Structure 1
């Protein structure tokens, strides 16, 4: 009786690493597209793929040719369709690199105490403005970015280029102000622009009480490395959006820690 050959069952450490890397990539992709329209797009592409094989097996030449022409664009179509998800995927990877994770360690070598003191000076007028707007239930959306994208913001905003000020933030979001309807963008230790129109999130599972202000804050945090502070006009509650996720009922102490960490 001949012995069976089980060579195909041999697993090397390279195979294990390969499986782990693929699993990590699949997890990242899933975390980025869950609760978004990308899931529906993937299902649509899967249905088209299965339908193509069905009509091919039935020798329906005309339909096969049409679908084949559609599928021939392949990777280019996927890049166009999933451009926001690909952008978020690359941003997500960049945020989790070794250097980003250890920026605090680098800061300890080059004067982190000075940086922390400067951060507190920058954050204080923002916290004070949030306290005042929470008390008066003034709706606000403040976006913090590390790098100001002129193409993204300048085309839909009023340029301010001003020092961060409690009174300026309050006056911008005062309901009779012509600039109150939109977001304020803060970068490079300045109020760069106001009345900004931001992309809304595609997340279909957000609470129904979330209005355009919350959806815009979450949307900008999905598509860029920005974080957003949202003050509800109805309740005065403060929310904090980062990487497409939102933290509700943020206290001023928590807000200071979050901004000190991310800004």
Structure 2
């Protein structure tokens, strides 16, 4: 009998560890996709389901129960590309890998200097700064670079003799992740009809994610910034730096302080 109890205990522990590992791998896969923000909303729905059951809210419990019963099919249909890409990643990524500390140094200052230089030469550019929502689907379809943010390298990618100058560059954690990225274009009917493809692509990616997109006009050299589907135009270096420091550097400082407290 004691041996049977020990076996049951070991099997139960193994069961919990396997489930925890699967959840961990799923979170890693979803972290770089559009499906990541959905986890929070789904967790709230599940929580509301159990609360409604406990509180005796029959109608709400019935509605949420029917919704959750079909959520798997909904997720598969909406995120089929992300699921395919995620399963591929699970097959090629190592089980354990060392964690790396993101490079946050001078990100805003470097991006402002690059934008000003490209503006002065009227060199068209589209620079996307990834934030919480991953952009892996665009990185994988582009030319992966994965180099530390370097002003000279970033400027060279948008020169007309560069084969990648027509696409966007994606920046994440102080690194140039990819160049020549093809981004979705906004279909907002209220936009200025004179806006070019770069500006529409900047708005498109800002509608689909929380990314920031810096645009330099090839015709006028004007600098613009797209965020949350809105475009701030005719920015100077000081204005752009102020916005970036608020949205990027403040977030990075919080993350670094959390890491230090954890240590």
TM-score by length of structure 2 reads: 0.54
Query: How far did residue 154 of structure 1 move?
Result: 2.5
Match of 2:159 in 1: 174
Match of 2:242 in 1: 257
- 1:129 and 2:114 equivalent? yes
Please give the per-residue CA displacement for 1:101-158, whole angstroms capped at 9, x wherever unaligned.
Answer: xxxxxxxxxxxxxxxxx86722222111111110100000000012473642223211
Quickly say closer, same or farther: Cα 1:251–1:119, change in 2 above 3 A. Answer: farther
Task: Indicate conservation of the 8 Å contact 2:133/2:211, yes or no.
Answer: no
- 1:220 and 2:205 equivalent? yes
Task: Indicate conservation of the 8 Å contact 1:162/1:191, yes or no.
Answer: yes
Name which of structure 1's ranges 139-148 and 129-138 shifts more when overlaid on structure 2. Answer: 139-148
Distance 1:152 1:184 in 2: 13
Quickly say closer, same or farther: Cα 1:163–1:232, change in 2 above 3 A. Answer: same
Q: Aligned to 1:138, what secondary structure does the other structure show?
A: coil
Task: Indicate conservation of the 8 Å contact 2:110/2:151, yes or no.
Answer: yes
Task: Indicate conservation of the 8 Å contact 2:119/2:222, yes or no.
Answer: yes
Q: Aligned to 2:198, what secondary structure does the other structure show?
A: helix
Distance 1:124 1:185 in 2: 16
Please give the per-residue CA displacement for 1:53-89, whole angstroms capped at 9, x wherever unaligned.
Answer: xxxxxxxxxxxxxxxxxxxx9xx89x979xxxxxxxx
Task: Indicate conservation of the 8 Å contact 1:232/1:238, yes or no.
Answer: yes
Larger radius of gyration: 1
Match of 1:154 in 2: 139
Distance 1:151 1:164 in 2: 18
Q: Aligned to 1:239, what secondary structure does the other structure show?
A: strand
Number of matched pairs: 157
Counting only pairs closer than 5 Å after superposition, residues 1-263 of structure 1 correspond to structure 2 as 121-147=106-132, 149=134, 151-263=136-248
Query: How far did residue 220 of structure 1 move?
Result: 0.2
Structure 2: gaps (5+ residues)? 1-69, 79-102, 249-263
Task: Indicate conservation of the 8 Å contact 1:200/1:219, yes or no.
Answer: yes
Quickly say closer, same or farther: Cα 1:212–1:260, change in 2 above 3 A. Answer: same
Give the superposed CA RMSD: 2.9
Name which of structure 1's ranges 167-176 and 139-148 shifts more when overlaid on structure 2. Answer: 139-148
Task: Indicate conservation of the 8 Å contact 2:213/2:225, yes or no.
Answer: yes
TM-score by length of structure 1 reads: 0.54
